[in-house]
Amino acid sequence: MARVLCFNHGCFEDEICIDFTRKEIEMAEKKEERYEESDLYRIRHSAAHVMAQAVLEMFPEGKYTIGPPIEDGFYYDFELPRSLTPDDLEVIEKRMRQIIAGDHAFEKQTLPADEARRIFKDQPYKLELIEGLEQGGYDEYGQPLAEKPEISIYTHDKFVDLCRGPHVESTRKINPAAIKLMSVAGAYWRGDEHKPMLQRIYGTAWKSAEELEQYLWRLEEAKRRDHRRLGRELDLFSVSEEVGPGLILWHPKGAMIRVLVESFSQRAHLENGYEWVFSPHIGRAHLWETSGHLDFYQENMYSPMDIEGEAYYAKPMNCPFHIQIYKSHTRSYRDLPKRYAEYGTVYRYERSGVLHGLTRVRGFTQDDAHIFCRPDQVEEEISRALDFSLYILRSVGLKDFKAYLATIPEKYVGDPADWDKATQALKRAIEAHNIPYVVDQGGGAFYGPKIDLKVNDALAREWQLSTIQFDFNLSERFNLEFIGEDGQPHRPYMVHRALLGSMERFFGVLIEHFAGAFPVWLSPVQAVVIPIADRHLAYSREVAGKLKGAGLRVEVDDRNERMNAKIRDAQTQKIPYMLVVGDKEIELGAVALRLRSGENPGAMSLQDFLERAQQDIDKGD
């Protein structure tokens, strides 16, 4: 039987395979053209207008707000007299197709604010937008526009919308077979939770029905890879209602992977000049007062517990503890840099609605470290940290990155000159490492600028893992010092960094990236020996024993099942090697190898198999 295979991504016949690599290249090529100027952008923007028309026909008293194109589609926000149902979406979608078939031209008209106000006199949200436009308007990054924008409206059929454009020439240019309304959701007006909750309809629109199909298929693939689903199916982790939401239970197989990653990283840290430390999970209120967390971070911290009349808080960060270690001695300039690393488990309050599997949780373990160094060392330290981060991420199979350089926010502590110096150091480090990056203007923490590294997974989705942050705050607050060459006390620089970020989120990304088919070195079970009949059991155990002796994680499937069933289960569990053992293998002293890709290299000696496995492990596959 023909079998569709993907050796890179561990996809199997029943999952169909997508050539992700090719897709990524295509996407990169497309980025040459700015989305805002593309045909797709116009199509989606126009589809949003058509949808708004359909919705307002249904609810003439409804208020419409904004409806921009987004990645893969568009949305439009409305205030409506009742909640929309999935059935409504079908009706709206049908009406949209009728409007499209009407071949209505999109016509632009610029006009003075007062005239616009007359047109939208019953539309309070539009009036608010006109107000904003009059005061100068904002670009898509929320920055004030240099020039005062003109006010324009677009009309098609009987529908008028305040809109900058651009649009397609006519509704006919929207392919009715390539649009689909996806979901309805709540969204605050202007994203502000103090403002009214609107109803947002999400839609998707493409040039062709094939592209729509492909997009829908991509969503299906994402579902198949969902770490919450794979976490259960592969018995990696769970969340128990009894324990509490956002709190992760690592099952033996998930924990095995974590132990492997942590051990690898632990060794790498030692080789890179870090020292390991441990610190407790709670600390006295006074510590968090000194650190400023009770002032700046309290809404993310849990209520204190009372210990003999003294308030203690679960730690949301590890820094104050590492600082205490630093402060336990007088430090000389010769001692620096000090690099303290810890797998530090922290607890942060996340609002119930934002929790998500492993990627947004309430308790998690960071691969955290704090670097205390002299000002003249900081640039080198940043560069080393970035280098190390890339090394660790690549080692675990994540190879596609984008950096975000977050700069000084409105509220900040410290000297702007220091900020500038630090920001430049971060920028030079990114550029030296040749990673694509964007500047997140004003996105820094109040205590310092930072580099966030985001990873693109196999479906080209972006995840934030690493962060490298300057801290101008804590060294001041805790009055950190080192004695310089001049015999005088000086203030060290402090850098906070996490590479995999949190073990939980990292694991979630890893699961989805590999769709559960982890590289051999990380697979909790690397090989399963499959005896064909009972009489092959003893030999199977002997084989397993030898492989275990060679350091492989091996199981024998000694269930009273047919070989086919055992193979199927091993495939489902995405075990890298299946070693089938029957009369022939016993006679030859061999094993018959089958790979999870479906490849069937056949009988080979144990020695040959071990060499092959070792090669795969060394390659990191």
Question: Which residues inside 490-519 make contact with RNA, applying CB under 7 A?
Answer: none
Per-residue x/- mask for RNA, residues 540 to 569, rule CB under 7 A? Answer: --------------------xxxxxx-xx-
Binds RNA by CB under 7 A, chosen from 132, 545, 551, 620: 132
Nearest approach in angstroms of CB 133 to RNA is: 4
Binds RNA by CB under 7 A, chosen from 99, 578, 613, 617: 578
Catalytic residue among 45, 315, 348, 427: 348
Binds RNA by CB under 7 A, chosen from 246, 283, 444, 519: 246
Binds RNA by CB under 7 A, chosen from 600, 605, 607, 615: 600
Question: Which residues inside 137-196 make contact with RNA, applying CB under 7 A?
Answer: 137-140, 142, 149-152, 154, 161-164, 183-188, 190-191, 193
Catalytic residue among 88, 319, 374, 557: 319
Interacting stretch for RNA, rule CB under 7 A, among 66-74, 380-388, 444-452, 493-501? Answer: 66-74
User: 6 by DSSP, 3-state: which?
Assistant: strand
Q: In this complex, which beta carbon is closest to RNA, that of residue 179 or of residue 422?
A: 179
Q: CA 610, CA 580: separation in Å to the nearest integer?
A: 15
Amino acid at 334: R
Active site (annotated) includes residue 450: yes
3 state SS for 83-141 = CCCHHHHHHHHHHHHHHHHCCCECEEEECCHHHHHHHCCCCHHHHHHHHHHHCCCECCC
Q: What number of chain residues touch RNA (CB under 7 A)?
A: 81
CA distances from 238 to 285, 363, 403 (A): 32, 14, 31
Interacting stretch for RNA, rule CB under 7 A, among 23-31, 60-68, 332-340, 486-494? Answer: 60-68
Active site (annotated) includes residue 566: no
Active site (annotated) includes residue 34: no
Q: Is 572 in the site for RNA (CB under 7 A)?
A: yes
Nearest approach in angstroms of CB 466 to RNA is: 20
Q: Is 355 in the site for RNA (CB under 7 A)?
A: yes
Q: Is 352 in the site for RNA (CB under 7 A)?
A: yes
Beta bridge partners of 452: 404, 467
Binds RNA by CB under 7 A, chosen from 112, 245, 484, 589: 245
Binds RNA by CB under 7 A, chosen from 455, 580, 604, 617: 580
Active site (annotated) includes residue 200: no
Tokens of 407: 């700069």
Interacting stretch for RNA, rule CB under 7 A, among 253-261, 316-324, 339-347, 572-580? Answer: 572-580
User: What are residue 530's phi and psi, to 5 degrees?
Assistant: -120, 100
Whether 206 and 175 have beta carbons less than 8 Å apart is answered as yes
Contacts for 142 with CB less than 8 Å, ≥ 6 apart? none
Active site (annotated) includes residue 148: no
Q: In this complex, which beta carbon is closest to RNA, that of residue 285 or of residue 439?
A: 439
Per-residue x/- mask for RNA, residues 300 to 329, rule CB under 7 A? Answer: ------------------------------
Q: CA 143, CA 162: separation in Å to the nearest integer?
A: 20
Q: Which of 571, 578, 319, 325 is nearest to 448 (CA)?
A: 319
Catalytic residue among 156, 167, 338, 370: 370
Strands 363-373 and 493-502: antiparallel
Q: How many residues does the chain have?
A: 621
Sign, CA torsion 388/389/390/391: positive
Amino acid at 426: L
Q: Which of 478, 500, 441 is nearest to 290 (CA)?
A: 478
The catalytic residues are: 319, 348, 366, 368, 370, 450, 496
